Amino acid sequence: MSAPSGFLDSLAGELSQTFAALSAPERLAGLVHALAGTRIVFTTSFGLEDQALAALIAQAGLPVELVTLDTGRMFPETYQVWRETEAFTGLRIKSFYPEREGLEELVGRQGIDGFYESVAQRHACCEVRKVKPLARALAGASGWITGLRASQSQARTDIDFVSFDPTRGLLKANPIADWSREQLVDFTAKSGLPVHALHAQGFPSIGCAPCTRAIAPGEDERAGRWWWETSSKECGLHVGADGRLARTQSGKSL
């Protein structure tokens, strides 16, 4: 069951303002209360942000579905921390995969690593492996929880705690939007959370194996994603139809 779009649109600004004065656990609880009786989905890619949110959701026993997008090109270490996270939280993380026909057509057309050849081909790969599976994962949901943070990159500086996603007709919540990398490291260490092994090797942001490298000192956290490109470091999950980060009604980036 999902809430009406008009209700969610009006609720977004109210919640975002309220959340500014709350802790991350309080923000999660507030979102669940506001959307009581509807489906709420948290999408994890097992980075520090998502590990912290998974732990907070599990500790509070919140009725939130944990979901991940398995593109088929993930690092072995990602599957390892996936397994460890389920054991730690006691929660099953549901996976959504690319559809067979679309994936076969993509690889047949551009080759197994065609995404290196152009931005358009990389976007096509992300569309099949991530964007379309996300659409299935969020179908019928009223709330979508993400681990987006303002300090991850310049493009994400102005993200709101809560915004209305008109494309998907749901609330998009970023409960740790104001957390620093240092806060995340401290929280995960004190909580004893399983941590992705590649973080210790210079990978602050981790996606598909062919498309992620370690970053150099001074680079922002997402510089290692699609490093051969000079355009925005986004896969399409958080952008609008124009390929840019989706905008809120106030003009800020989601």
Q: Which residues are known to be catalytic?
A: 235
The identity of residue 130, as a single letter, is K
Rounded Cα distance, 7 and 87, in Å: 37
Between strands 162-165 and 143-145, the pairing is: unpaired
First to last CA, the chain: 24
In sequence order, the 6+-apart residues with CB closer than 8 A to the CB of 2 are: 38, 39, 140, 141, 142, 169, 170
In sequence order, the 6+-apart residues with CB closer than 8 A to the CB of 37 are: 1
Residue 158 and residue 252 in contact, taking contact as beta carbons nearer than 8 Å:
yes
Rounded Cα distance, 194 and 48, in Å: 9
The number of residues making up the chain comes to 254
Rounded Cα distance, 224 and 110, in Å: 23
Rounded Cα distance, 234 and 123, in Å: 9
Rounded Cα distance, 45 and 133, in Å: 13
DSSP 249: T
The identity of residue 97, as a single letter, is Y
